Structure 1
């Protein structure tokens, strides 16, 4: 494992909004989730494939996560980088590509550094490309602080060597079919760095400033025991769990804005308490450890089939198509569209209420009601 910065780019969204969290997190041990380990393996494969595509020496990494799906997604990433390089060559005859490049932005963030997955540098523009293998959270490049930190580090390296006017930042997230690109001028980036980044980074490095709970708490190592977050969630108790019709519209709007994080916080508390009880013998007043419900399963499918058939039961198999996603992976997107495109439908999704920050297009409820009446 490589060295990690105290104020890392990947956690910048958190420490920019809640500056004391950076110091608080240092009290908790690092642990790598299964998803993070899979992401690390995918990044290593991306690095290898991109180097080979650019005729650089590289030894293929081997991991327990190797599969056709990862092969396909990392191939797509390499194709995207090469396409971006081809576009850059139309503006600059000798752009350079840097892979897993160490980037230092300590002139703005104390001891700040990170690693850029892929950089394409040439006259006029700098491309910063970041590969995200996760499929849980959709990551947007627009005003993304992690990407802006990488951009600042790249400018420190190449700003004096190339005549760069703007920086293009791309999040490549194949498992969410998400390719998000955002462009910013050098002047705007440096203005943000001086006026917002630098003062907040100094606060964070010194453990100063106010705790500010929010959606950025999700991956904070201290979140489950953070008093500020607990107080913010428990503040909902002032409504005394009144039934919705007894609340004002303003009160309901305040509760709606906090529900998702409240549910996540409650889940984190339960997970922490459960782990403490099962793995560390912690006794929680009013709670006990019990065996959960389980689902019966066959010990040996072949032996079960033989025994059932020997007893005269022949109708013991079900046959069904593989899932749509598996079929598309089997055929490839182009062949899938050609062979089955006319046999696929995507029905409208169930209407749901989400925050305005959600990227999906809003539905006009009046239009929905009219459509419903026309069907009657």
Structure 2
């Protein structure tokens, strides 16, 4: 089975929507930067192809075992294939099956669907047609449209709530299928399946709410991106949505370097300017300003290293050989040498039991729950600092003392 290779990638794509909606200037500043791939992106491409094949067999295309296995074998021969993709894509298929079973009758299921995002952003392809994005799965039945997205990554869980990427897919799907369903669809559901993190995130809205968002948020942001009449607006979307300019963006640098000016702007005579300690208000201010500072510095270090390796001069810095770790050329041969020379096997090998998570993967969730579920304890987590916008409830010491959480 041939892996999907899109011929055209929209500048205002759904996958980068959180970035260009919040920072329209990033589109103008990065449009001439060549798109780069990575081993993670390539692995995701293979996993998506496997997920599509499994879903196609179940919902769309009658496919015998021989044809299915032949296509699957070809995908598994890709150098970016990893064994865990089988389990991950099975989880995705299970979610789609649950969705299908929730309808009163068999829903329409469409896979890898190009949906016209340009209808809402104003962007067109070279041939003049509306720019598109590709939705992993669209299911429609009764008065419900359900958009499901598979993510192969294991970085951090992605929320489906108010997710711009998912909302653009949903808008495109509503437009594409309006000729068949017109005003029938009353509810739009969205699900992001991230099996590597055991995360299945859901959210629902209405066509009317999506249309308001398209008019009040998407259209103005897209217009600003096209005209370029805006300044860069750095934020969490720089990193989470892979802005090509994130390492060298001056606005992002100024945001973090503004910490140097902390306290200097206080009015003369302000008591806070002379106190030896920060107030709680000031501590909160510094933490808010510094959020993301550590990762930004790490990204600058990565950029500088690659620049040095490419022969560029980064004043004050150079590339050197890092610390190396010794290892056996052939561990089995090394250990066998010791055993041959009289050293007991038990002093060479450690016998370590598998962890709870490893046993759950080995046994499967159901068998694990049946055999060991009653022996699993989950104490309250340790308190951790989070932004006020975090959806988790505030830490409750009383509940934690009794080993429970909200």
What residue number does 2:146 align with?
127
CA distance in 2, matches of 1:148, 1:107: 14
CA distance in 2, matches of 1:245, 1:46: 59
What residue number does 1:35 align with?
40
Question: Cα gap change, 1:199/1:298 in structure 2, threshold over 3 Å: closer, same or farther?
Answer: same
CA distance in 1, matches of 2:139, 2:214: 22
1:222 equivalent among 242, 245, 259: 245
**TM-score, structure 1 normalization:** 0.91
1:236-273 Cα deviation digits (max 9, x unpaired): 1113899x972232222122123341111111111000
More deviation, 73-82/247-256: 247-256
More deviation, 50-59/259-268: 50-59
1:317-367 Cα deviation digits (max 9, x unpaired): 111123332222211111111222234333333221011333333212466
Question: Cα gap change, 1:365/1:325 in structure 2, threshold over 3 Å: closer, same or farther?
Answer: closer
What residue number does 1:326 align with?
358
Question: Cα gap change, 1:305/1:143 in structure 2, threshold over 3 Å: closer, same or farther?
Answer: same
What residue number does 2:168 align with?
149
2:216 equivalent among 179, 195, 205: 195
Q: Which runs of 4+ in 1 moved over 6 A?
A: none
Q: Does 1:352 align with 2:384?
A: yes
Which segments of 5 or more consecutive residues in structure 2 lack a partner in the other structure?
Answer: 124-130, 265-272
1:9 equivalent among 6, 11, 14: 14
CA distance in 1, matches of 2:399, 2:375: 28
Q: How many residues align?
A: 366
SS across alignment from 1:197:
helix
Alignment of 1:154-193 (within 5 A): 154-162=173-181, 163-193=184-214
1:191 deviates by 0.9
CA distance in 2, matches of 1:206, 1:139: 30
1:317 equivalent among 319, 326, 349: 349
Question: Cα gap change, 1:129/1:225 in structure 2, threshold over 3 Å: closer, same or farther?
Answer: same
What residue number does 2:113 align with?
101
CA distance in 1, matches of 2:313, 2:231: 33
CA distance in 2, matches of 1:357, 1:297: 46
What residue number does 1:252 align with?
283
CA distance in 2, matches of 1:226, 1:38: 28
1:269-291 Cα deviation digits (max 9, x unpaired): 1100011112x112322223222
**TM-score, structure 2 normalization:** 0.84
What residue number does 2:332 align with?
302
CA distance in 2, matches of 1:245, 1:109: 52
Question: Cα gap change, 1:55/1:188 in structure 2, threshold over 3 Å: closer, same or farther?
Answer: closer
Q: Does 1:237 align with 2:260?
A: yes
What residue number does 2:270 align with?
none
Task: Tell me if structure 2 keeps the 8 A contact 1:7–1:205.
Answer: no
CA distance in 1, matches of 2:326, 2:143: 63
1:105 deviates by 2.4
CA distance in 1, matches of 2:287, 2:218: 30
Which segments of 5 or more consecutive residues in structure 1 lack a partner in the other structure?
Answer: none
1:5 deviates by 0.4
More deviation, 337-346/286-295: 337-346
1:94 deviates by 5.5
CA distance in 1, matches of 2:367, 2:106: 37
1:55 deviates by 5.2
1:133 deviates by 1.4
CA distance in 2, matches of 1:300, 1:95: 55
Task: Tell me if structure 2 keeps the 8 A contact 1:105–1:156.
Answer: no
Question: Cα gap change, 1:27/1:248 in structure 2, threshold over 3 Å: closer, same or farther?
Answer: farther
